[in-house]
Amino acid sequence: MSSSPLASASAIKQLQASSVDPSAFVANPQLDAQGHLRHFLTIDGLDRALLTDILDRAEGFLSVARAPVKKVPLCRGKIIANLFFENSTRTRTTFELAAKRLSADVLNLNISTSATAKGETLLDTLRNLEAMHVDMFVVRHSDSGAAHFIARHAAPHVSVINAGDGCHSHPTQSMLDMFTIRRHKGEIAGLKVAIVGDILHSRVARSQISALNTLGAAEVRVIAPRTLIPACAPEALGVRVCHDLREGVTDCDVIIMLRLQRERMTGGFLPSEHEYFYLFGLTEKRLASAKPDAIVMHPGPINRGVEMDSEVADGPRSVILEQVSNGLAVRMAIMSTCIGAQHSAGQSPEREAARD
């Protein structure tokens, strides 16, 4: 487990002491007693119907971006706090925009200058935010399990959305990827999907694999050097492992390229970036092995000339910028679903009464 320099030592001790143990929660800690989505922490354990419902909701939010007034009132009166203990630009921006398009009030905490950085425990920070009647925490943290920890200790009226935790999970990124694939291919079911790159350190890859398997993809392949694939990948992740890029992308419908997670590497996983590109970088020539209508994706940011050629990144089969646009609609769908669960649980009147 890596530790963030921005998190207090006591917060990390609390996190380590808790360590993610799903069995310590209810059957699925993300769902309330009625089976509604209260938190969105990981794709694991969510069924196909729920994931499909989120994708369907996101379709409805796409038109908001093209409307003269880019807002809907679904979260009016709600307060959403972005707690980013790890640097982010794209994800944080899309969460903020998504919340504002739902008419919520948004708090962006500068963790580097917050009380947490001055020694306050993570739980004390949460308690203070809850006392300000915050309704939702959006959390990014370098420690795997951080979002689960916060959800476990959050007040009953607060929802938690995982915006990426360590090497564990990035569920909203995987859902926007599924949304992008579905808009191009119609259905996820039956597709052959290749995920290329740093599987070992990628929270995005783990969430993508879980979502693809849940939504019925015919085959999920992971392609990387042996040093960047977990030894247990075939059994634990339900994937086919390839160490040859041309073989791995052959007849694929979708190719997802991943960024090398240099910040999470603690040893010599690669001889050099030049050699990595020579063996695993996606070029037009290698892309020719995939199906003629195959699409190319990347969660960003791209390292051009390392993970892929600019000719591919900017080419006609690239849908990388669409992924960014779709991220807004998908995050609106997830936020509104969780806020809707609060209403279903009858928590909203209490919150309104408390505010009065």
Q: How confident is the model over 188-242, as pLDDT tens digits?
A: 999 999 999 999 989 999 999 999 999 999 999 999 999 899 888 777 889 999 9
In this predicted structure, what is the pLDDT of residue 11?
41
- φ, ψ of residue 19 to 5 degrees: the values are 25, 140
Strand partners, 240: 221
In this predicted structure, what is the pLDDT of residue 268?
58
In the block, residue with structure tokens 């990827």 = 177
Q: Which residues are annotated as a binding site?
A: 90-91, 118, 140, 170, 173, 203, 259, 300-301
Evaluate if residue 337 carries a pLDDT over 60.
yes
In this predicted structure, what is the pLDDT of residue 120?
76
**CA-CA distances (angstroms) from residue 84 to 4, 50, 355?**
11, 26, 26
In this predicted structure, what is the pLDDT of residue 333?
97
CA gap 8, 13 in Å, rounded: 9
**CA-CA distances (angstroms) from residue 53 to 13, 48, 105, 179, 215?**
37, 9, 25, 11, 12
Distance separating the N- and C-terminal Cα atoms of the chain: 43
CA gap 193, 209 in Å, rounded: 9
Evaluate if residue 122 carries a pLDDT over 90.
no
Q: Which residues are annotated as a binding site for carbamoyl phosphate?
A: 90-91, 140, 170, 173, 300-301
Mean pLDDT of the chain: 86
From the number of C-beta atoms within 10 Å of its C-beta (0-12, 13-18, 19+), residue 209 rates as: buried
Non-local (6+) Cβ contacts of 13 within 8 A are: none
Q: Which residues are annotated as a binding site for L-aspartate?
A: 118, 203, 259
Q: Hey, CA dihedral for 290, 274, 312, 199, is it positive or negative?
A: positive
Higher pLDDT, 314 or 352: 314
Non-local (6+) Cβ contacts of 269 within 8 A are: 198, 200, 225, 227, 228
Six token digits for residue 137: 């925490």
DSSP 304: B
Helices 171-185 and 320-344 sit at what angle, rounded to 10 degrees?
120
Q: What is the pLDDT of residues 27-70, one digit of tens each?
A: 789 999 889 999 999 999 999 999 999 999 999 999 998 889 99
In this predicted structure, what is the pLDDT of residue 115?
64
Strand partners, 32: none
Q: Determine if the pTM surpasses 0.85.
A: yes
